[in-house]
Structure 1
């Protein structure tokens, strides 16, 4: 299944484009990805009633007209909230709605967001929703504990660890060291690594790939990043470029 996941470029939060009023993690963004035969990367958060929704942030404020925490609302409330910057007037989707919509047409790369004490609940919700899915799917997370939780409930899907050089917010420098050096591998047991393009030179990531295992890289949004990923990764998570050429589809994003 990993071969299928790495076979096609992966559209970051769907093939979204705010300039064209296609919101991230929206039905329109997923429709565009499917039309272009791109794999879809998306994010899962956990609602207050322990259901998985397709949403990147902990809070509603940036991406919707409402404010507050995702963890304070139900899945029914979430799926009635419209997304900003959506010409199609798309709403937040539940994970179940996403799987029904994609229906195996392209691979899904599903990132589980760390839940601050509720990782087991998100792992269970994602697992239960996807266990009978007939398409190609994998899970990934910055948080090794989420992979541990998925292993604990014997989830069948491939799993990846997301890594970057920077220490995550609200974490100690020691935790950052452990994460970027992949010290958790014996416990997290990932099937692949998903690495920030500016961190592909991390010794642990280079060693992982040198051992014959797969590395995808994010977020590839300009020609410079595209060139780095072509040399040092096995597939890209992209936005705002043509993934075959690295050329911008609109105004090229600045180098970071």
Structure 2
């Protein structure tokens, strides 16, 4: 295990990150809901990677869903973590005939055809249950895949328990400027043992991101939604995580 965030990751483990753009929560918009089967199909048709989010059900089962609660995407007040898997299976996404998919279903549908970025939504220090569930879901999966999180403890867990899996640190500098923010980013990178960075495009160019990109860490950037953001991504990052065609 690396004891420093400064070692260059094995390029064989990270090359797929630079090979194509990534559709943010799949290729969604209009009638196509984010993190849905239709959104994955759209990205696969273009040969683009898919970025998705994973939340834990009450028993820890990973579901592909961004928000903590169901209000925005299903019109319900419950939190995802309060519901059993069977209950989540039955909930329809607003304006769609689709239900909330499990991570295992997504992996079966994508089946290695395009790369996956799985953002693990785990706050605080209790990350082991969801990380373990994701690791179990990925057992036997054949295809390029990476896990990432804002929480550096997620990266640390995978570094200890699934070291061969590519892992990243998601970073935003919003509200974290100055020396205190810089120290926090360095500590997070050290904890996460990250192989790559996924950086807020609004923060680019970034001295921190640029330094580690120069040292060999692939730099992805989110969320690219405009021509100006595309230009920034092309200049300062390796690939965009986008919500419009780059």
TM over 0.5: yes
The residue that corresponds to 1:9 in the other structure is 21
What is the TM-score of this pair, normalised by structure 1? 0.86
The residue that corresponds to 1:122 in the other structure is 130
Cα distance in 2, alignment partners of residues 28 and 184 from structure 1: 35
The residue that corresponds to 2:106 in the other structure is 98
Q: Is the 8 A contact 2:123 2:151 kept in 1?
A: no
Cα distance in 2, alignment partners of residues 242 and 3 from structure 1: 22
Distance change in 2, residues 1:179/1:119 (3 Å): farther
202-211 or 32-41, larger mean C-alpha shift: 202-211
- Give the alignment's Cα RMSD to 1 decimal: 2.0
The residue that corresponds to 1:251 in the other structure is none
Q: Is the 8 A contact 1:127 1:155 kept in 2?
A: no
**Cα distance, 1:206 vs structure 2:** 1.3
Alignment counterpart, residue 77 of structure 2, candidates 67, 71, 75: 67
2:153 is equivalent to residue 145 of structure 1: yes
Gaps in structure 1 of 5+ consecutive residues: 244-256
Structure (1/2) with the larger helix percentage: 2
Structure 1 counterpart SS, 2:73: coil
**Cα distance, 1:71 vs structure 2:** 0.8
Structure 1 counterpart SS, 2:66: coil
Gaps in structure 2 of 5+ consecutive residues: 1-12
Cα distance in 2, alignment partners of residues 37 and 54 from structure 1: 20
Alignment counterpart, residue 23 of structure 1, candidates 33, 37, 51: 33
The residue that corresponds to 2:58 in the other structure is 48
1:1-256 matches, within 5 Å, as 1-17=13-29, 20-86=30-96, 89-167=97-175, 177=181, 181-239=185-243, 241-243=244-246
Length, aligned pairs only: 234
Which of structure 1's runs of 4+ aligned residues deviate more than 6 A? 173-176
**Cα distance, 1:227 vs structure 2:** 0.4
Cα distance in 2, alignment partners of residues 15 and 154 from structure 1: 29
What is the TM-score of this pair, normalised by structure 2? 0.89
Structure 1 counterpart SS, 2:123: coil
42-51 or 181-190, larger mean C-alpha shift: 181-190
**Cα distance, 1:10 vs structure 2:** 0.3
Cα distance in 2, alignment partners of residues 226 and 208 from structure 1: 21
Q: Is the 8 A contact 1:8 1:38 kept in 2?
A: yes
Q: Is the 8 A contact 1:181 1:203 kept in 2?
A: no
**Cα distance, 1:35 vs structure 2:** 1.0
